[in-house]
Structure 1
Amino acid sequence: MTQHEPRFLPDPNGPAEQTTAPFRADFRTLLLTLWRGKMIISAASVVAVLLTTYYVFAVATALYTSSVVVIFDTRQTSVVALPSVIAAVSGEPSSVTSEVEVLRARTLMTDVARHLHLMSDPEFNADLREPGLKTRLRSGIESVLGGGQSFGPPATDDDRTGRDLDRIVNVLLSKVSVRNIPGSHVFRISVTTQSPEKSAIIADTIARLYIDNQMNEKQHATEHAAKWLASRVAELQSQLEDAEAQVAQFTAATALISAPALQVLERQLKELRARIAAAHTRKAKMQGLLGKMVDAQTPHDKVAVADDVLLTQMLSSGRLTPDRIAEFDDRYRDILSRVRIEADRATLQLAALQASETKLDLQIDQQGQDLIALQQLTREAAATRLLYEHFLSRLKETSAQKGIQQADSRVLSHAVVPSFAHSPRKSLIITMAALFGLTCGALYVLVQEAANTSFRTAAALETFSGLPVLGQIPALDVGRVQPARLNLACDARRMEAMRGLRTSILLSQKESQKQVILVTSAMPGEGKTTIALSMGEVLSGLDKKVLVVEGDVRRGRLRQQFKDLPEAGIVSILNETAQIGEGIHRPEGYGADILAANSTRKNPADLFSSRRFRDLVQTLRAQYDYIIIDTPPVLATPDACILAKQADTVLLTVKWDSTSDVQIRETLRLFRSTGVNVSGLVLTQISLKGMKRYGLGGKHSCYADYAARGAPVS
């Protein structure tokens, strides 16, 4: 895992806009990160193992599991070959799942709790156990807050017993597991308790009561069915007797009728209707002939209508005389009279036939209704008889089944008292705890590494800021309470690093642009004051006249390092209450002059923005070869940005593995907003051991020789 991925494009004027870098999985870096955090990872694993070991050996309660195996047998042996009241279970997956739920039913568990008197067992009844810490704390809180008060009518003994039994059943259900072996009708009932004997007893009791409940259910169903069938048979017998009596009574009250006799009457009616149709035709014919004969006027018309031979002869014999005409008319009247008589006879015959039809039709309707009623009564009696015989037969079959029912399940293997505890599995738990501790420690190290936004290499710092890193200064070996000048003198590695910084400053800029050097930082505690003093020491080693100016008026750190400084300082000089020479002092053993700060009621930013300060800097330029200004942190006060206006070189110190990218970005932004360009960065307080931990302190590191041996001090 890279310490700080490049996230900004280089920009001569400062950091550029943020761009997301592609993720690069570096397995070696990941291993190095985990190796650096090996102590944290190991500590996490050791703590997890110790806590787990204490828990499994001193706190955890040993639990024992015993199992009983029950088979759900769908093949039932029929002793009497009679259908059962309760049909055998089909053995389908849904039926198997249902039986699993039956085995876990609260009703069965309640029977088990009552049968084994689990209410008097402290493992199941919490009221019989000593109250634990959690219970005592809750009781104390309820007593203080006034909780635990019940509202409504007080509970009766039965209510409390029922609630206690419900709690015990809940505990029992939590200790019982029922599992169907895949692809079979076999169930494994497992019970886990604190006692091996108790686990076996409860498992066997569950299986036994489950099978007993099946038998009781079948017997109860058979008895209930027999009672219901007996009442139903008695009811059907009464209904059958009533139905047969109604048939007999109806038969006696009506004429003897049958379907064949009704069919004969229907044939007679059909023939009668045929005769009526013929009578209608004859009547119409005779009435038509009568009308034509009445309407005929001439002899020829009468001969044509009458169709009589004698009339035809009379008309064809020649000329009609009055005697012949009278004879012709008498003959025609006789024929007309006969036709009229035939027409009346046809009418009377038709009326008689129609009356017979009406009478026969009424007779058929009545007998048809009587036949339907008789058939309905007969069918009802037959149906009642059929039901009576069926229920009577089923009653006898059900009565014969009493005492021969078989349960749908049987025990294949009774519970065995376990010899070893089921849980806790100490070795497994401790191993898992060790792995869990390692994992948590590794995650903590990785998350801590991923959340780190500081800098550990000059390359990462340069890539982020777009500015050169002019120096990398190791941390001091002696305590921070010592004066900075003594620390520098006794640390050869730091002296060599400061010489390298001096060289970078002198070679990176032209001769006319390096006289006034400003040293600042983003936040306090990043070593800027120590760097300023060390720079004064190494620059004075070039036989140059060097002045270190304290720009941090608010804190006055130089007076804490050097106890023999004069009272007058830069504030006194700017206020014209002292001369320049009165404030400048060279401490004993230090190669450069010091112009410290003294207290003031004015805002330091106003002092450094004044013309007097600019004139002071110009005066000091004429007196010294190098002027080093130590300023307050940029993010704390605006003093550093104001002082930087008078500097030729601006150095920004960055504390190794501490200063964040956000702080550096904001510091550079503030400098750019005032028109000041930072000349370079200095990575300070570098831990050589830390560099090695991060894989940066090998033989190619510039600090390898410093770590191995000291360098001569000039």
Structure 2
Amino acid sequence: MAGALFIATATPLYSASTQLLIEIRQERAIGADATLTPAPIGKRMMKSEIAVIKSAALLRRVVEREKLIDDPELGAATIAATIERLKNALAVTLLRNSRVIQIAVTSMDPAKAARLADAIADAYVVDKLDARLEAARRASAWLADRLVALRRQSHNSEEALALFLAATGASARAEGMKIDPEQSASLARRVAGVRAEAAERKARLELLQRIEGRGGNAAELPGVGGAIDELRRRAAQLSRQEAELRSRYTDGHPSVVALRAQIADVDRAIATEVRRLSVGVRHAFELAEGSREAAETTLRDITATDDRGKSAAIMRGELERAAATDRKLLENMLRRARLVQEQSTFEPRVARIISAALAPSAPIWPDNAQTMLIALALGVIAGVGAAYASELADKGFTTLAQIEAKLALPLLASISEMKSHGGANGGVAPILADYLRAKPLSRAGEAFRALRSAIAMSDVDDPPKLIQLTSTVPGEGTTTIASALAASAAQSGLRTLLVDADLRHRAASRIFSAGEKPGLVDLLIGSAQPSATIFFDDKRGIWVLPAGAEIQNSSDLLASEKMKALVAALRRQFDLVVIDTPPIGPVLDPLIVAGLVDRTVLVIRWAATPREAVAHAIERLPERGKIAGAVFNLVIEAKARKYGRYAYSPYSGAGSFENYHVE
């Protein structure tokens, strides 16, 4: 019922999913051939992509674009809280043995679930494209810086050649050409400038080598600034964010993993920029050194030879070669810059949506069949547990099987509880005895006949004549059963005597209004004769021997030789003698009487008397072989039926037997 109520009242949830294919990325090497090499995709990389999808930065785009802060289901007071709710509704998984990532969103609205799944996938694709464009922008900026330097260097080479040609003029082609002092000084100043620039580039290269020698990199060079500083500030900011997240989450949390992926991207960008700077320093030194050597060679040739014409030709050749070299370097760099620009305007996709989300037609939660199965299982477990707990709490005997298993005794009869209808003594016992006499064919009458038959069958060859009825603790109805058993035997024509041997409580004597009459005590101490103590009860048709006078040492009196002689005499005079004795637990009297009778019947109150107490009482009896069996008394049939048919009586489960009883 709880499961059905839950299904009826639960709000259904729908899940929509979209699928992304992660493309194999092509890494481009900026060179003459612009080679493309595939970048491998492994599980770590795929986990990093999943972390990016779950990152707060990406989900913020979705929250802002879809205006989820005003959504009644996912909206919250702040954008951060809304992002957290969206993250809880998001599930990102990697399909096994593939490069496909599945993005699923759960919502109460199926259309909204599909819309948000597609929105998250689109945001991821756009984020990857933005990252690619940013990388291309950085490469273009680096190439632009290099082009500026190469243009300046080419311009200087062309200017040097032009100055030489202007200084020599057309006569430089002829032999014997002379250079005036002013022209020679101008060329010397040009050589000095080239030497200074070469020395500066060499000093910068040596500084870089010393930095690298102690484990540093080009980023430590003075004046680098620019992109390196920006990337460093970005790395420091991400590190602070990582420290804040690690103080709240574990290392495996999606937010921490996503932030680490961003830090790794920044570190790679810094490393690329450092390599670019290092290569630039070395290349600048090589160019400056080449220019210096060319200029010094030209100057040396001019000043070291007397053949001015030949020297001028040599210098012109050197200057022309240097200018041609610089032009070629500039042309190569321009070609590479155009290639990078083309690559930045057409980038292959790193991810694409291969399956858009569709609005689901059926909810994923609650699963009616699964919920009912779980509810049924829990109900069965709870029921069995409650039954087991109730059974553990029930310390008394309730079934025939318990009597046979725990006590190794037969159950002779089960006497149902009868409601009191009043009576002379206001008790139940005389009512039961009178009821048996008034309605001998009732269920109670049949139960006592079955009891007498079971007692007789305990010794077929020599049916017992002296029967003791006792119990474990007071209040189990021993006197009631004893008087009713005597009345039932008297109805069958047996000369029956009921002996009240409970000299402490005297319940049977009060039932028969014989509390003040002489009885068993008087007979044993010799103060009265049998004719004065044993009387006949006309109403119930039985003979009664009451307890008699008060006495302190009842155990000694019952263990006397006179008691043994009295029992022998009663055996000869009556067909059946029923002796009512006190409980075994508190006193010794029933143990003494048990040694004098033929059989002992143990009365057990149904579902009340502790099992361990009954077992201990049986162990105290002198002869276990004399125990005829046990009788259930005060059985509450309405409760007893829950233990199963025939649980407390061999005939309790047959409803058709009611036709044989006259109540």
Q: TM-score range by the shorter chain?
A: 0.5 to 0.7
- Correspondence for 2:125 among 208, 211, 224: 211
Decide whether the 8 Å contact of 1:521 with 1:654 is kept in 2: yes
Paired letter, 1:682: A
Decide whether the 8 Å contact of 1:473 with 1:497 is kept in 2: yes
1:82–1:571 distance in 2 versus 1, CA, 3 Å:
farther
Decide whether the 8 Å contact of 2:515 with 2:548 is kept in 1: no
Whether 1:681 and 2:629 are equivalent positions in the alignment is yes
CA distance in 1, matches of 2:585, 2:337: 102
Whether 1:54 and 2:2 are equivalent positions in the alignment is no
Decide whether the 8 Å contact of 2:396 with 2:610 is kept in 1: yes
CA distance in 1, matches of 2:412, 2:366: 59
Cα distance, 1:607 vs structure 2: 3.7
Any stretches of 5+ residues in structure 1 without a counterpart?
A: 1-48, 129-160, 255-386
Any stretches of 5+ residues in structure 2 without a counterpart?
A: 146-275, 301-328, 422-426
1:559–1:546 distance in 2 versus 1, CA, 3 Å:
closer
Whether 1:69 and 2:115 are equivalent positions in the alignment is no
SS in 2 for 1:534: helix
CA distance in 2, matches of 1:113, 1:598: 99
CA distance in 2, matches of 1:633, 1:590: 25
Whether 1:566 and 2:515 are equivalent positions in the alignment is yes
Aligned to 2:542: 592
Cα distance, 1:76 vs structure 2: 6.8
**Greater Cα radius of gyration, structure 1 or 2:** 1
Deviation string, structure 1 residues 204-245 (Cα, Å, up to 9, x no partner): 221111111111222223334555675626433333235547
CA distance in 1, matches of 2:536, 2:39: 108
CA distance in 2, matches of 1:633, 1:253: 139
Deviation string, structure 1 residues 264-323 (Cα, Å, up to 9, x no partner): xxxxxxxxxxxxxxxxxxxxxxxxxxxxxxxxxxxxxxxxxxxxxxxxxxxxxxxxxxxx
Note the 1:438-457 alignment, pairs <5 A.
Answer: 441=383
Counting aligned pairs with the same residue, the percent is 22
Note the 1:581-660 alignment, pairs <5 A.
Answer: 589-594=539-544, 607-611=553-557, 614=560, 617-618=563-564, 621=567, 622=569, 625=574, 626-635=576-585, 640-654=590-604
Whether 1:665 and 2:615 are equivalent positions in the alignment is yes
Cα distance, 1:465 vs structure 2: 4.1
CA distance in 2, matches of 1:641, 1:446: 36
- Correspondence for 2:489 among 539, 556, 578: 539
Aligned to 1:292: none
Decide whether the 8 Å contact of 1:651 with 1:679 is kept in 2: yes
CA distance in 2, matches of 1:443, 1:608: 49
Aligned to 1:171: 85
Note the 1:222-621 alignment, pairs <5 A.
Answer: 222-227=136-141, 230=145, 232=277, 234-244=280-290, 397-426=339-368, 429-430=371-372, 433-434=375-376, 437=379, 441=383, 461-462=403-404, 465-467=407-409, 469=410, 471-475=412-416, 482=428, 483-489=431-437, 490=439, 492-506=442-456, 508-509=458-459, 514=464, 516-522=466-472, 527-541=477-491, 542-549=493-500, 551=502, 553=504, 558=508, 562=511, 564-567=513-516, 589-594=539-544, 607-611=553-557, 614=560, 617-618=563-564, 621=567
Decide whether the 8 Å contact of 1:644 with 1:676 is kept in 2: no
Deviation string, structure 1 residues 4-62 (Cα, Å, up to 9, x no partner): xxxxxxxxxxxxxxxxxxxxxxxxxxxxxxxxxxxxxxxxxxxxx2x23332223x223
1:536–1:235 distance in 2 versus 1, CA, 3 Å:
same
Cα distance, 1:529 vs structure 2: 3.5
Paired letter, 1:208: D
Note the 1:38-49 alignment, pairs <5 A.
Answer: 49=1
SS in 2 for 1:609: helix
Cα distance, 1:537 vs structure 2: 1.6
CA distance in 2, matches of 1:185, 1:111: 24
Which one is further off, 703-712 or 661-670? 703-712
SS in 2 for 1:471: strand
Decide whether the 8 Å contact of 2:22 with 2:100 is kept in 1: yes
Cα distance, 1:519 vs structure 2: 1.5
CA distance in 1, matches of 2:67, 2:464: 96
1:245–1:119 distance in 2 versus 1, CA, 3 Å:
same
CA distance in 1, matches of 2:291, 2:526: 145
CA distance in 1, matches of 2:400, 2:480: 20
Aligned to 1:284: none
* C-alpha RMSD of matched pairs (Å): 5.4
CA distance in 1, matches of 2:332, 2:395: 92
Q: TM-score, normalised by structure 1?
A: 0.53
SS in 1 for 2:345: coil
CA distance in 2, matches of 1:192, 1:527: 68
Decide whether the 8 Å contact of 1:492 with 1:706 is kept in 2: no
Which one is further off, 536-545 or 389-398? 389-398
Provide the aligned length of Structure 1 versus Structure 2: 484
SS in 1 for 2:539: coil
SS in 2 for 1:407: coil
Decide whether the 8 Å contact of 2:515 with 2:547 is kept in 1: no
SS in 2 for 1:681: strand
Paired letter, 1:533: S
Decide whether the 8 Å contact of 2:478 with 2:580 is kept in 1: yes
Structure scoring higher RCO (CA < 8 A, sep ≥ 6) equals 1
Decide whether the 8 Å contact of 2:498 with 2:544 is kept in 1: yes
Q: TM-score, normalised by structure 2?
A: 0.57
Aligned to 2:273: none
CA distance in 1, matches of 2:381, 2:48: 43
SS in 2 for 1:669: helix
Decide whether the 8 Å contact of 1:519 with 1:528 is kept in 2: yes
Paired letter, 2:284: S
Decide whether the 8 Å contact of 1:522 with 1:634 is kept in 2: yes
